[in-house]
Amino acid sequence: MAVKISKDNVQLSSKRTRVAFRSHEGSWYLSCLEDESGRSLVTGSPTGSMWALRAKAEGKVVGTSSQGLSSRIRATGRSSFEMVWPAFMLSGSKCNAKLRLSLVESGFVSARLGVSCDPPLSLWEVDFPILEGLAAENATLYAPYGYGKAMRYEDATRYRGTYPSHHCTMQFLAWNIGPTNLYFGCHDRSASTKTLEFSSQPPTFRCTLPVAGMGEMAARYQVPHPAVLGAIPGDWYDVARFYRGWALRQPWCRAGPVASRPTPRAFRDVALWCCASGAPGEVVPKALQFLEYFEVPMALHWYVWHEIPFDDHYPEYFPAKEGFKEAVGKLGAAGILVMPYINARLWDPGTESWRHECAERDAAKDSDLKKYVEVYGSKVPLSPMCPATSAWSRKIRDIVTKLAGEYGVHGIYLDQIGAAAPKLCFDPAHGHPVGGGDWWVKGYRSMLEQVRREVRRINPEFFITTESNAEAWNDLLDALLMCNSTEGDLAPIYPAVYADRVLTFGAYIFRGDLEDSWAFRAKVSEMFLWGTQLGWLGFDVLEPKFQCEAEYLRALAKVRSSTKLLAEGELLRPPRPDPEVEVIEASWELWGKKWSVRLPAAQATVWRGSDRSVGVVACNMGNAEAHLKVELNTTGLGWTKARTIRMMESTELRSADPSLSGGGLSLTLHLPPRSGRCISSGTPRRRAVR
């Protein structure tokens, strides 16, 4: 690892990566980033910037970037240097910036930026890092959207997601070119609000941070994360595993693995979700019928259990519909876990409680100190509350403890915490830095901790879930609803990072999916293979005309409940698809947008259990029997030849025609039509379930 500095060239190099900067008319830009073989991942641009900032001067936003500004460079160590812009003018005010770069042990470049400006200018947003001029030939973008997306460059015109939310669940982007990936990480342990973006003309990565204390004068701002840049050989899986190495040490992984964190056993065992809305008289008999048919541990997500309409009059959830308490008791006695819906983010300003409880005080407010207003399907204007206010946390805590104590529900769904991006709240009375910063995540973390503490005094087995997966609350939520992730171009990047740390459940399954059987089968196959608790669907599936779909779902749910691997395991590198297996094309639709999804009729994923056993989970959604070939990389699993032979002879792997081939173990799983199967190196043989 070394740094070389000359008049117009600076170079940082390690075994893994070479990064160079050039000076163009006194202004420095990133001119190349190469992998270990010398393949160029960033070709750079002399008109490119490394950072940009926007500031407010007399109510107007003005901006500048490193492009065109002269800077000084000096080495600060054997493998580090700094670039300083000691004084530049913006709208009549003096500003400065300092960028410190170093090579870290793993061969990556770590970069930190600090900026400041003199009054009357006030900082607003900072873009850092910016990587312009990504090499574009045959490239694929990996983005942390929902489960994760792998989008061919030709199709990926733009990606933009604000962290933490469904649109940006983790803090990195990656750019695959053949055997290598460019890694663009913003390793921020404070989980501050930020937007990750890819724009295609020219291909550019950018992270934008609204500063903590936006618009306050005499501003200094230190970007809260090091930018971590470098090359990673392989594909999305390798990128996910690199990120995992950092992520497991962060506060949101504090609870430890699913196998040992305090998620209730009964909840971990849930294999199937049904989703219902309305009166106990209708919901209870159907839910019992659901259980009778599927015969697996299940949970019920109950919407509109209250008298008020959906997305209206929040948070005046009480009274519950007549008979709700008795219904929860009856379902619980049958073994069904009941989880009602509430929204943990919105208050309806048209309610009595808004006036009586002075809720306006605790609403998130824009830079004009006006409350935000959002309108959903109900057409009722609703206001997102500021999670940093103790009154809002108390409100949610009181609703949940009442539901647990008086009604005996087994868990709670707190809508929108994971899905919705942070609002920039400018209310100085709330006690958090205005605008950006880490207070949004901290606020919800504190709310969730409070809810957990209080509710578990009533029921130690109580569980808490939210909509969508955003990593910042992984440790405080027992499961994340993956409903918004039913789109095209998915890759299980989130499960590759976090499958053994937090449970996931469900997908949007519409009546149209049941009517178009392949759409349904593709959705449930993907959930099954990626370790997500299945279903989250209505009672339509029990109609006789959907018998085929119901049978397939039941087969997969039974496999899921026969193994701990899918609830507690670590998702290992997915095996290559078997080229002999037919590829099915299904059509998914979400919020008016159509997606064409291509999946092999039969496929498998590989898991490592908390007991270190390795299992292959496979399903066949097709109408014909499949003989699915799965190659296990035994070197990657750390198995010696002797151990592999022992596994072949004495475990369930024996039932899959095992043979040694090259550096691996070749298995053939015989899968009847519409069936699932799990075979493990840790348990004796078991039959296929259909």
- Select 213 or 340, whichever has its Cβ closest to Zn ion: 213
Size of the residue set binding Zn ion (CB under 5 A): 4
- Shortest Å, Cβ 115 to Zn ion: 24
Cβ neighbours for 640, distance < 8 A, ≥ 6 positions apart: none
- Shortest Å, Cβ 392 to Zn ion: 9
| Residue 160 to residue 169: CA distance in whole angstroms | 12
- Select 432 or 501, whichever has its Cβ closest to Zn ion: 432
- Select 95 or 386, whichever has its Cβ closest to Zn ion: 386
| Binding region for Zn ion (CB under 5 A) out of 338-346, 381-389, 592-600, 620-628 | 381-389
Q: Which of 427, 475, 526, 568 binds Zn ion (CB under 5 A)?
A: 427
- Shortest Å, Cβ 315 to Zn ion: 18
| Binding region for Zn ion (CB under 5 A) out of 250-258, 427-435, 487-495, 576-584 | 427-435
Q: Which of 149, 187, 430, 677 binds Zn ion (CB under 5 A)?
A: 430
- What Cα–Cα distance (Å) separates residue 107 from each residue in 382, 431, 686? 48, 41, 45
- Shortest Å, Cβ 445 to Zn ion: 15
- Select 310 or 426, whichever has its Cβ closest to Zn ion: 426
Facing residues of 143 across strands?
Answer: 149
- Shortest Å, Cβ 388 to Zn ion: 5
| Binding region for Zn ion (CB under 5 A) out of 212-220, 384-392, 543-551, 630-638 | 384-392
Task: For residue 159, give the 3-state DSSP assignment.
Answer: strand
359 binds Zn ion per the rule CB under 5 A: no
- Shortest Å, Cβ 433 to Zn ion: 10
| Binding region for Zn ion (CB under 5 A) out of 178-186, 191-199, 423-431, 601-609 | 423-431
DSSP string, 163-230: ESBTTB-SSEEEEEETTEEEEEEE--TT---EEEEEEETTEEEEEEEEPBTTT-BS-EEE-SS-EEEE
Q: Beginning with the edge strand found earlier in the chain, give each strand of the sheet holding 479-481 in spatial order.
A: 503-505, 479-481, 463-467, 411-415, 337-343, 298-303, 272-277, 534-537
386 binds Zn ion per the rule CB under 5 A: yes
- Select 188 or 427, whichever has its Cβ closest to Zn ion: 427
- Shortest Å, Cβ 345 to Zn ion: 13
- Select 365 or 677, whichever has its Cβ closest to Zn ion: 365
One-letter-per-residue 3-state SS of 84-98: EEEEEEECCEEEEEE
Cβ atoms of 654 and 672 within 8 Å: the answer is: no
- Select 314 or 439, whichever has its Cβ closest to Zn ion: 439
| Residue 17 to residue 39: CA distance in whole angstroms | 10
- Shortest Å, Cβ 373 to Zn ion: 16
- Shortest Å, Cβ 427 to Zn ion: 5
Which pair of structure tokens corresponds to residue 195?
Answer: 């937007």
| Residue 690 to residue 687: CA distance in whole angstroms | 9
- Select 344 or 586, whichever has its Cβ closest to Zn ion: 344
425 binds Zn ion per the rule CB under 5 A: yes
Report the half-sphere exposure of 231 (CA within 13 A, side-chain side): 25
Q: What are phi and psi of 10, to 5 degrees?
A: -125, 140
483 binds Zn ion per the rule CB under 5 A: no
CA end-to-end span of the chain, whole Å? 56
- Shortest Å, Cβ 430 to Zn ion: 3
- What Cα–Cα distance (Å) separates residue 282 from each residue in 29, 276, 278, 323? 65, 9, 7, 11
Residue whose C-alpha is closest to residue 320's, from 191, 408, 432, 437: 408
Q: Is 55 exposed, middle or buried (0-12, 13-18, 19+ CB in 10 A)?
A: buried
- Select 434 or 566, whichever has its Cβ closest to Zn ion: 434
Indicate the DSSP class of residue 114. E
| Binding region for Zn ion (CB under 5 A) out of 19-27, 422-430, 463-471, 646-654 | 422-430
| Binding region for Zn ion (CB under 5 A) out of 159-167, 386-394, 566-574, 615-623 | 386-394
- Shortest Å, Cβ 225 to Zn ion: 22
Cβ atoms of 437 and 221 within 8 Å: the answer is: no
- Shortest Å, Cβ 563 to Zn ion: 45
Which pair of structure tokens corresponds to residue 22?
Answer: 């050039």
- Shortest Å, Cβ 387 to Zn ion: 8
- Select 425 or 632, whichever has its Cβ closest to Zn ion: 425
- Select 124 or 607, whichever has its Cβ closest to Zn ion: 124
- Select 181 or 389, whichever has its Cβ closest to Zn ion: 389
| Binding region for Zn ion (CB under 5 A) out of 6-14, 32-40, 420-428, 471-479 | 420-428
Facing residues of 205 across strands?
Answer: 131, 198
Task: For residue 27, give the 3-state DSSP assignment.
Answer: strand
The full length of the chain comes to: 690
Question: Taking the CA atoms of the chain, what radius of gyration do you get in angstroms?
Answer: 26
- Select 425 or 630, whichever has its Cβ closest to Zn ion: 425
- Select 425 or 626, whichever has its Cβ closest to Zn ion: 425
Cβ atoms of 13 and 80 within 8 Å: the answer is: no
Q: Give the CA angle between residues 148, 146, 426 to the nearest 5°.
A: 125
| Binding region for Zn ion (CB under 5 A) out of 106-114, 129-137, 428-436, 663-671 | 428-436
- Shortest Å, Cβ 295 to Zn ion: 48
Q: Is 490 exposed, middle or buried (0-12, 13-18, 19+ CB in 10 A)?
A: buried
438 binds Zn ion per the rule CB under 5 A: no
Per-residue interface string for the shown chain with Zn ion, residues 546-585, x marking contact by CB under 5 A: ----------------------------------------
| Binding region for Zn ion (CB under 5 A) out of 122-130, 353-361, 426-434, 678-686 | 426-434
Residues within the interface to Zn ion (CB under 5 A): 386, 425, 427, 430
